[in-house]
Chains A and B, each alone.
Chain A
Amino acid sequence: MEITKQSVEHLAELSNFRFSPAETERLRTDLQSIVTYISQLDELDTAEVEPTFQVFEMENVWRADEILPQDADREALLALAPEVREQQIKVPPVLGDGGGA
């Protein structure tokens, strides 16, 4: 499996990162060596094997659908946000430079 510059750029987009060309190239080399290493699983025939996604033994945990007391209230949580206005978290414009928003 070859990791190309394009695949790194695609993964950066999926991951919400922005890299310089030098960083992209560095990551390409790193990812290539990691992917080469993990590809050794190809040696194994797993056609008849069930996957194990979790090692927790319970199938599901049920509880009543009710609101339980929380450790932190609205004020405490809002206080963590970088910018707050009128009890809301403030962010820059969602669309472009905000012209139409």
Chain B
Amino acid sequence: MKTANKTVTALRLVQDALAKAKALEDYHVFTFLNEENALKKARALDARIKKGEKVGRLAGVPYALKDNFMSPEGPTTASSKILESLISPITATAVAKLEAEGAIMIGRTNLDAFAHGSSTENSYFGPTKNAVDPTRVPGGSSGGSAAAVALGIVEFATGTDTGGSIRQPASFNGVYGFKPTFGTISRYGVVAMASSTDCVGFFANTPEDIDLLMTITAGRDPRDHTTLPDFYGVSPENTADVVPDQFADVTSAQPAGAVLAQSDAVTSQLGAATTAQSADIQSAGTDTSQPAGNVSSQPAEDSSSQPANSPAIPFASLALDKSKKCGIIKDFDNDAVDPEIRRALQKQCKLLRQNGVEIIELEMPMLKYALAVYYIIVPAEVASNLSRHDGIRYGYRAEDARELGEVYRLTRTAGFMPENRRRIMIGNFVLSSGFYDAYFLKAQKVRTLIIREYARAFEQCDFLLTPVAPNPPFKFGEKTADPVAMYLEDVMSVPVNLAGLPGLTIPVGTTKTGLPIGLQLVGPRRSDRELLAFAGAIATMRKDAK
């Protein structure tokens, strides 16, 4: 990524990005442009560079923030009416870490309200246009972030992925999109959707850029107890066996006592590093809540001094690791998948074989149930998480309510989009007495079967290569009339979330009519870095093949 230095100033980088954002206004990428603050921060950073001060690894890099990450810069709306005016007093940990390295947020990007959707058509502010074909959807829910990178406005953007919300829009716009292992990046300060599958991740132009962003943002956060002990970019000798994998052995459950004892060891082992890190985050968080001009006055974190880091991956010269085996899923190779996408997958497999990588065909019959499981579990968690939005403590409140119950009902009915309401209703249906066992509990059991199927697959191969979605980007309005038709777009991305695995969209070409095609690389839990390295080698291989 292009960082600021004495010749190319942060101000120049930020001005360029803002100018592009304005020139491409018609795409409706942003819900908010952070012009004033971004320029102030850039000037402050340039002053530090001029003085010869050490600056962070993302010094002056403009980025786009999905509008469900909280920070005091602009309202965090989640593209909804109910949060339309919410200026958050807190800063998401992921944002604080990026800003501490000198990254500068130039705008908040559009999404399906509360990240419910696969097209951004559910945004209260209207849809974003696809970067390649503006008559088509950019995918969703992180459609604005994907388009921001694909249009060249910024070099990276944040996203969240609950069932494909990073990978599918990345595929639809022809960029890389990464959803890490569940628990890798803190979700503190991110608007909650479904707590058992929500993940923070990134859009960028190369796996190498994503690796850098992961190195910066991954790690345990005392403010999010669902973050895993640090593993990304940490040397194996410092992570080995510290995290018991409850799914490593699918046949025998690990006794809870053993798990606890081991995680205590993790806490003490990583204690020092975690404390130091959280101090950094805290100061960064405090800084961003002050006037923007002060933000960069803080000394940059000296990242190179962190102990126990594994060496940087030499992405530029990465060769394909021929010992790796790549699995393809027969169950995804059917008539419901666009023939051009099937051909793109076959072509990649051929290329990998020619380069010495073994391709293994796998049967994973449980995956076809993943979508049904997903649309039970996720609405249930949505119904629970979104019950907090009631018009009392923050956000929109219906004005004509005469009593408290009416405040709730009128605020929520008007404040949520139709798809939000559908999911809340479905969630309360599958959780209600009489249906809990038949739907909610049943789905959680099938989830176990899906996880086991992945565990078996990864006994035979290192990564899975699959389509991201069954179709290339579709036209506006094409799937809005039938919610199930829209849900079917998620059929190949949701199983990855149910199992908490890392998944990466790699752009591999276009259809005959020029629409982007992406493929999805999926790995075992905590294989995130290997996955990005493998994708980097694939990119080199594709370049050489041309």
What is the minimal beta-carbon distance from A101 to any residue of chain B, in angstroms?
9
- Are A44 and B429 in touch, CB under 8 angstroms? no
A80/B393 contact (C-beta < 8 A), A30-B483, A56-B183 known? yes
Of the candidate stretches B136-144, B145-153, B329-337, B403-411, the one touching chain A is: B403-411
B397 within 8 A of A: yes
Count A-B contacts at CB 8 Å.
186
Expressed in whole angstroms, the Cα–Cα distance for A8 and B182 within the complex equals: 34
Interface residue? B190 (CB, 8 A): no
What's the minimum C-beta distance from B46 to chain A, rounded to whole angstroms? 28
Contact B446 A41 (CB under 8 A): yes
A-side interface size class: 35 or more
Residue A14 CB within 8 A of the other chain? yes
* A92 touching B403 in the complex, CB below 8 Å, given contacts A15-B421, A54-B196: yes
Q: A16-B390, A57-B228 are in contact. Are A77 and B403 (CB under 8 A)?
A: no
Distance from A12 Cβ to chain B, minimum over Cβ atoms (Å) = 7
Query: Among A18, A58, A80, A94, which residue has its beta carbon within 8 angstroms of that of B409?
Result: A18
Give the chain A neighbours of B186 by CB distance below 8 A: none
Least CB distance from B506 to A in Å reads 24
The contact of B425 among A31, A57, A59, A96, by CB within 8 Å, is A31
A16/B89 in contact, CB under 8 A: no
- With A55-B500, A91-B392 already in contact, the answer to whether A41 and B404 are too (CB < 8 A) is no
The tally of residues in B whose CB lies under 8 Å from a CB in A reads 83
Most buried by A among B253, B426, B487: B426
Q: Find residues 1-60 in chain A having any chain B CB closer than 8 Å to their own CB.
A: 7-8, 11-12, 14-19, 27, 30-31, 33-35, 37-42, 44, 46, 49-60
* Residues A15 and B394 in contact, CB atoms below 8 Å apart: no
Q: Is B65 an interface residue (CB 8 A)?
A: no
Are A38 and B445 in contact, with the CB atoms below 8 A? Answer: no
Q: Which A50-99 residues have C-beta < 8 A from chain B?
A: 50-61, 63, 68-69, 71-72, 76-77, 79-83, 89, 91-98
Chain B 392-444 residues near chain A, CB threshold 8 A:
392-397, 401-410, 412-413, 421-422, 424-426, 428-430, 432, 439, 441-444
Does chain A have a CB within 8 A of B285? yes
Q: Does B263 contact A (CB under 8 A)?
A: yes
Q: In the complex the two chains form, what is the Cα distance from A76 to B156 in whole Å?
A: 31
Q: How far is the CA of A34 from the CA of B380 in the complex (A)?
A: 14
Q: How far is the CA of A83 from the CA of B244 in the complex (A)?
A: 48
**Partner of A57 from B197, B246, B253, B401 at Cβ < 8 Å:** B246
Within 8 Å CB of A69, what residues of B? 282
Out of A14, A38, A53, name the residue touching B372 (CB < 8 Å).
A38
Residues from chain B with a CB closer than 8 A to the CB of A89 are 392-393
Using CB atoms, name the residue of chain B closest to A82. Answer: B397
Instruction: Note all chain A residues with C-beta closer than 8 A to B390.
Output: 16
* Candidate in A8, A15, A27, A91 with the most chain B CB atoms within 10 angstroms: A15
Expressed in whole angstroms, the minimum distance between the Cβ of B449 and any Cβ of chain A is 6
Chain B proximity of A89: nearest CB distance (Å): 6
In the assembled complex, how far is the CB of residue B277 from the closest CB belonging to chain A, in whole angstroms? 15
Q: With A and B bound together, what is the CA distance between A7 and B428 in angstroms?
A: 11
With the chains together, A41 CA to B450 CA distance in Å? Answer: 12
**In the complex, A8→B499 CA distance in Å?**
32
Residues of B near A56 (CB, < 8 A) are 182-183, 196, 226, 228, 500
Cross-chain contact A82 with B391 (CB below 8 angstroms) = yes
Q: Are B260 and A33 closer than 8 Å at their CB atoms?
A: no
- Using A35-B426, A92-B404 as known contacts, list a sample of 7 further A-B pairs with CB atoms less than 8 Å apart, ordered by residue number in A: A17-B424, A55-B182, A55-B500, A59-B260, A71-B89, A77-B393, A80-B393
Would you list the 4 A-B pairs with minimal beta carbon distance, nearest first? A55-B500, A51-B444, A72-B89, A80-B394
